[in-house]
Amino acid sequence: MEASKLPCSFSSLISRNQRHLPLSPSGFRCYNRDSIGQSLALIGLPSRNSRKKSARIRNASASVQPITKDHVEETSTTSGNAIRRRFLEFYAAKGHKILPSSSLVPDDPTVLLTIAGMLQFKPVFLGKVPRQVPCATTSQRCIRTNDIENVGRTSRHHTFFEMLGNFSFGDYFKKEAIKWAWELSTKEYGLNAENLWISVYEDDDETYSIWHDEIGVPANRIKKMGEEDNFWTSGPTGPCGPCSEIYYDFDPDRGHSDVDLNDDTRFIEFYNLVFMQFNKQDDGSLEPLKQKNIDTGMGLERMARILQKVPNNYETDLIFPIIEKVSELANVSYALADDSSKTKLKVIGDHMRAIVYLISDGVFPSNIGRGYVVRRLIRRAVRMGRLLDIRGDEPGNLEGTFLPIIAETVIDISTEIDPDLKSRKSRILEELKREELRFVVTLERGEKLLDEKLDDALEYAKVNNTEPVLPGKDAFLLYDTYGFPVEITIEVAGERGVSVDMSDFDIEMENQRRQSQAAHNTIKLTVENGSELTDNIPDTEFLGYDTLYSKAVVKGLLLSGKPVVEVSEGSEVEVLLDRTPFYAESGGQIGDRGLLKVTQTETGKTAVIEIADVQKSLGNIFVHKGMIKEGSIAVGKEVEAAVDAKLRQRAKVHHTATHLLQAALKKVIGQETSQAGSLVAFERLRFDFNFHRQLLDHELTKVEDLINEWIGDATSLQTKVMAIADAKSAGAIAMFGEKYGEEVRVVDVPGVSMELCGGTHVNNTSEIRGFKIISEQGISSGVRRIEAVAGDAYIEYVSERDNYMKQLCSTLKVKAEDVPTRVAGIMEELRIAKSEVSVARAKTAVFKASVIANNAFLVGTSTQIRVLVEFMDDTDADSLKSAAEHLVDALQDPAAIILGSCPGEDKVSLVAAFSPSVVSMGIQAGKFIGPIAKMCGGGGGGRPNFAQAGGRKPENLSGALDKAKTDLVSVLLEKTS
């Protein structure tokens, strides 16, 4: 399907602990109203009965009245929140399990952000993870940026949107999916059947028949469409199937002839049904899937537009309150604004939703990956605000910023989507404030760069006697790298008489758009090697919480990723067991190491497999990776599995210390900080957390002291398995990005820390023995990293540092307490010595300059300028500067000096010094030296009268100085003729 098509809906991974409900006589699971209410409560939504009693919810659903000609005041049943609840309740009553929206950061390496509904169900659709419920329904938050330029310009494009979805994992298929979609649309939502059109795949006669013969949709409102529009594929191979879409007709009076369902002025596609029934082979043939699946998606914003009777998605109560706040800050009326201003208001309204949710889900602005997405959205919002003359100086703002003010409105109207937004509010607002202030500085740099580019364009035009044009690549560089609006580029360039090559700009923009679509708008859903092996292998039973030794049966072997029956000595192998004491890497904790032993009853010999790592794959199957040191191993054999106890203890110590570290950070720098990642290894721990600045020395000391105090308290840990709702109510912290089922494991250090965690931990904090931070640094914007050691690793670290100190004391011949004073003295002596050497070098360079001054020659007719271009051996950059300053004074005005040297291996230094008369001719040292430095593999610049540059190719310096002399003489002759 095209990128502009309605994407499929979305759900989080199904929990393995969810229970099946009894079957109804029709074969579908029955849910009573109590179970529906419990499911809604699980994801933060009230049921219908509770809505009647809740003034808060009524207020949250209060009507929003966009000022539009055709606006009809909504009722409580047509608010965005109500539409969402009604969808979930409808499918819950049909036997679907209501699952919460998962993070915008997907647990899938093939995509950057959550872009489609089926993403989290991919393992289920592939048959690699057994279904835990037969069917599910979700309201999923999604992000797409491939159509970012259409946001605000069309009635339906967004970067952030909610997808309502219902899914079947081999439970029901086409007939039920179509019947319920029609019932939901016409009865639950009350859409007039005369306004609904259907599209079907041209070869899917079964679907056509259901719509026409069973549902009763007239043939003239069913359109057969080709593979491009109505056949869904996951890639070149893998699961695929036909689609059927429901469109709403805003203008049925236009009749049924020459109808184009892609006509946005008349139709909007609001519901997409994907019938996943085939597996596409390498040769392109279609093989029926053993398990046929349903994957659907209804756009919440689109349905709200239809039911609230507004002209576009932006004027629904899901977005319009944000636009109203922006209009207030811009001091403009949305109703009276021109199209250009309305577009800018819509862009900010859309982007702010995406920004707030991305930051809430732990995505912070940076220059790579997901961080770049949120940074780009923030910059676009700031640019649009500045074009609307919002400058961040309104009363009540946050230190000269305006995005945090708008974000508060987003949070206020979005608590029913995600209650966690309010608890993360301060972090979101602080991050927005920092990024906006940072970008204002970037904009100012962009303005400076634009001036330089315009100077270059004017100079080029003058030399070549052409019309001045700013290259499209330069305009795109300003737009993409510096966030400088192309509209402002055109306006400023026009004021200086320079046009902008927009055709070249459009080419650059299209290249970026294609790359973005290719990188972020596909989901790989291909059956991988080994799928046949895992079809009959159950999940691995983990015994490692209670024991480090067990017997197990080999259920599968992989050699170079391919299934085999037996593997012999010397081979690297992956072993799948029915049960294991080995911990598989997850939650930041690395996998255990140890041994697998197999007694060969036939020969009496023992096979030994050294396990170096354990990973989870294909759901909850543990893959033991190791080397066969002795003998051989075969499928079906019984093995003795033994974990390396010392390494496990080191991992346990570091994992518990990580929990204490998070608790200490929250006490010292604030509760709003949160975990952004971790590594629990045998030799150290690493903890990433959200914070906007470097920690001060006294803060790090306080963190260490707190943790060591808790270690000394010898507190026994408590581990419980409980319902996730109960765990959160008790205050347990959930790790961002982790997927949790309905039952979770809670690790509690009473009075200190309580977290949801599946890792291994010490029994008592005294086992940690000691804790030491070894580094603290920033790893990206708004994210810091602490590395630390505990337990045996702590003892080793302290012992090693003590040995270093002893060696240092011996070398310096002082006591340990006197080392800082002695080192400070040495550093001062070194500074004085360097200063003396620098002065001596400068004097030497000046002396050399006095000698070569005689090499200066005169250039010009009306005015004669003294010119000197010379090579000064290995003179360092500072001394070269002193020489140039001496020469420009000695030769007197007018004079132009270019000097070059090779101060070291692979090093080039260049300097240009022009006297005032030369500068007044329009010749600038900073601009002149740049192209010369490029020849030497470097660059540089400076003021009009003085500039320095460097390079990495000394072999090119001679040629560069020759060019400098030629170019300088040429331009001086032109200026003085």
Question: pLDDT digit string (tens) for 169-190?
Answer: 889 999 999 999 999 999 999 9
User: In this structure, are 304 and 164 located in the same domain?
Assistant: yes
Examine residue 239 and state whether it is found in any structural domain, yes or no: yes
Residue 56 is which amino acid? Answer: R
User: In this structure, are 168 and 234 located in the same domain?
Assistant: yes
If we measure between CA atoms, which residue out of 369, 375, 377 comes closest to residue 112?
369
Q: Is pLDDT above 70 for 516?
A: no
- Please say whether the beta carbons of 626 and 615 come within 8 A: no
Q: What is the dihedral of CA 278, 279, 280, 283, to 10 degrees?
A: -120
pLDDT, mean of residues 824-843: 87
- Please say whether the beta carbons of 657 and 680 come within 8 A: no
71 is in an annotated binding site: no
Give dist(CA 842, CA 862) in Å, integer: 36
* CA 718 and chain centroid, separation: 35
Specify the long-range contacts of residues 64-70, CB closer than 8 Å, at least 24 apart.
64/316, 64/317, 64/320, 64/321, 66/310, 66/315, 66/316, 66/320, 66/334, 67/333, 67/334, 67/335, 68/310, 68/311, 68/315, 68/335, 70/309, 70/310, 70/311
Mean pLDDT value across the chain: 83
Structure tokens at 903: 């101060």
Give dist(CA 528, CA 876) in Å, integer: 59
615: domain CATH number? Answer: 2.40.30.130
Q: Is pLDDT above 70 for 738?
A: no
Q: What is the dihedral of CA 301, 307, 310, 316, to 10 degrees?
A: -40
User: In this structure, are 302 and 377 located in the same domain?
Assistant: no
Residue 786 is which amino acid? Answer: I
Residue 900 is which amino acid? Answer: G
The tens digit of pLDDT for each residue in 85-124 reads: 999 999 999 999 988 887 887 766 667 787 765 666 766 7
Q: How far apart are the first and last CA of the chain?
A: 67
Last residue of a domain, which of 751, 782, 800?
800
Give dist(CA 816, CA 818) in Å, integer: 5
Give dist(CA 639, CA 601) in Å, integer: 12
pLDDT, mean of residues 756-776: 95
Burial (Cβ within 10 Å: 0-12, 13-18, ≥19) of residue 597: middle
> What pLDDT is recorded for position 851?
83
Enumerate residues 6+ apart whose C-beta is below 8 A from 212. 218, 219, 222
The tens digit of pLDDT for each residue in 604-614 reads: 678 899 999 99
Enumerate residues 6+ apart whose C-beta is below 8 A from 287. 278, 279, 280, 281
pLDDT confidence bin for 373, thresholds 50/70/90 = confident
User: In this structure, are 495 and 356 located in the same domain?
Assistant: yes
The single residue listed with the structure tokens 């994957």 is 295
- Which DSSP letter does residue 474 get? H
Least confident of 99-108, 532-541, 798-807: 532-541
Strands (E), 281-361: 286-299
User: In this structure, are 608 and 675 located in the same domain?
Assistant: no
Examine residue 957 and state whether it is found in any structural domain, yes or no: yes
Structure tokens at 849: 């300059």
User: In this structure, are 304 and 353 located in the same domain?
Assistant: no
> What pLDDT is recorded for position 515?
55
Give dist(CA 747, CA 763) in Å, integer: 11
Residue 625 is which amino acid? Answer: K
Last residue of a domain, which of 517, 550, 580?
517
> What pLDDT is recorded for position 123?
62
103: domain CATH number? Answer: 3.30.930.10
Enumerate residues 6+ apart whose C-beta is below 8 A from 499. 467, 468, 469, 470, 493
655 is in an annotated binding site: yes
Examine residue 959 and state whether it is found in any structural domain, yes or no: yes
Q: Is pLDDT above 50 for 287?
A: yes
> What pLDDT is recorded for position 423?
81
3-class secondary-structure state, position 860 = coil
**CA 56-59-61 angle, 5° bins:** 115
> What pLDDT is recorded for position 724?
81
The tens digit of pLDDT for each residue in 36-90 reads: 555 555 455 555 544 443 333 223 322 333 333 333 344 468 999 999 999 999 9
Burial (Cβ within 10 Å: 0-12, 13-18, ≥19) of residue 130: middle
User: In this structure, are 711 and 857 located in the same domain?
Assistant: no
Q: How many CA atoms lie within 13 A of 514 on its CB side?
A: 6
660: domain CATH number? Answer: 3.30.980.10
Q: Which backbone phi and psi does 75 adopt, to 5 degrees?
A: -105, 175
- Please say whether the beta carbons of 759 and 736 come within 8 A: no
Percentage of residues in the chain having pLDDT higher than 70: 85
Give dist(CA 206, CA 201) in Å, integer: 10
- Please say whether the beta carbons of 115 and 523 come within 8 A: yes
Task: Report how many domains make up the chain.
Answer: 5
Structure tokens at 653: 């110590």
Examine residue 46 and state whether it is found in any structural domain, yes or no: no
Q: Which backbone phi and psi does 169 adopt, to 5 degrees?
A: -110, 75
**CA 385-65-421 angle, 5° bins:** 60
The tens digit of pLDDT for each residue in 578-606 reads: 999 999 998 889 999 999 998 765 666 78
The tens digit of pLDDT for each residue in 395-453 reads: 444 467 899 999 999 999 887 777 778 888 888 898 899 888 888 877 777 778 888 88
The single residue listed with the structure tokens 């690699």 is 128
Query: What would the DSSP string read from start to end of 647-713?
Result: HHHHHHHHHHHHHHHHHHHHHHH-TT--EEEEEE-SS-EEEEEE-SSPPPHHHHHHHHHHHHHHHHT
User: In this structure, are 294 and 414 located in the same domain?
Assistant: no
Give dist(CA 215, CA 182) in Å, integer: 8
User: In this structure, are 247 and 343 located in the same domain?
Assistant: no
> What pLDDT is recorded for position 522?
45
- The dihedral built from the CA positions of residue 802, 807, 808 and 812, taken in this order, carries a sign that is positive
3-class secondary-structure state, position 759 = coil
> What pLDDT is recorded for position 172?
93
Q: Are strands 594-599 and 549-559 parallel, antiparallel or unpaired?
A: unpaired
- Please say whether the beta carbons of 634 and 565 come within 8 A: yes
The single residue listed with the structure tokens 């399990």 is 97
Give dist(CA 908, CA 43) in Å, integer: 63
> What pLDDT is recorded for position 656?
97
Better-predicted residue by pLDDT, 205 or 511: 205
pLDDT confidence bin for 619, thresholds 50/70/90 = low
Beta bridge partners of 688: 677, 785
Examine residue 825 and state whether it is found in any structural domain, yes or no: no
757 is in an annotated binding site: yes
Give dist(CA 589, CA 586) in Å, integer: 6
- Please say whether the beta carbons of 334 and 312 come within 8 A: no
Burial 149-184 (b: 16+ CB within 10 A, else e): eebbeebbbbbbbbbbbbbbbbbbbbebbbebbbeb
- Please say whether the beta carbons of 783 and 374 come within 8 A: no
861: domain CATH number? Answer: 3.10.310.40
Give dist(CA 909, CA 937) in Å, integer: 11
* CA 406 and chain centroid, separation: 22
Enumerate residues 6+ apart whose C-beta is below 8 A from 354. 143, 158, 159, 160, 374, 377
- Please say whether the beta carbons of 539 and 619 come within 8 A: yes
User: In this structure, are 608 and 706 located in the same domain?
Assistant: no
If we measure between CA atoms, which residue out of 840, 839, 811, 838 comes closest to residue 826?
811
The single residue listed with the structure tokens 């902008």 is 500
pLDDT confidence bin for 30, thresholds 50/70/90 = very low
The tens digit of pLDDT for each residue in 386-407 reads: 888 887 655 444 467 899 999 9
If we measure between CA atoms, which residue out of 99, 184, 162, 143 comes closest to residue 318?
162
Domain that holds residue 385: 321-517
> What pLDDT is recorded for position 594?
96
- Please say whether the beta carbons of 539 and 621 come within 8 A: yes
Residue 260 is which amino acid? Answer: D
CA distances from 859 to 444, 697, 818, 932 (A): 40, 61, 64, 20
User: In this structure, are 251 and 341 located in the same domain?
Assistant: no
pLDDT confidence bin for 10, thresholds 50/70/90 = very low
Examine residue 488 and state whether it is found in any structural domain, yes or no: yes
Structure tokens at 196: 């609904």
Examine residue 31 and state whether it is found in any structural domain, yes or no: no
> What pLDDT is recorded for position 419?
76
Examine residue 55 and state whether it is found in any structural domain, yes or no: no
- Please say whether the beta carbons of 12 and 102 come within 8 A: yes
Structure tokens at 970: 């040429």
> What pLDDT is recorded for position 145?
77
> What pLDDT is recorded for position 346?
92
User: In this structure, are 346 and 405 located in the same domain?
Assistant: yes
Give dist(CA 170, CA 157) in Å, integer: 32
Q: In the sheet that 865-871 helps form, which strands lie side by side, from edge to edge? A: 857-859, 865-871, 895-904, 907-914, 946-951, 939-942
Q: Kind and range of the H or E element at 162?
A: strand 160-169
- Please say whether the beta carbons of 529 and 562 come within 8 A: yes
Last residue of a domain, which of 310, 337, 369?
310
Can you give the length of the chain in residues? Answer: 977
> What pLDDT is recorded for position 63?
31
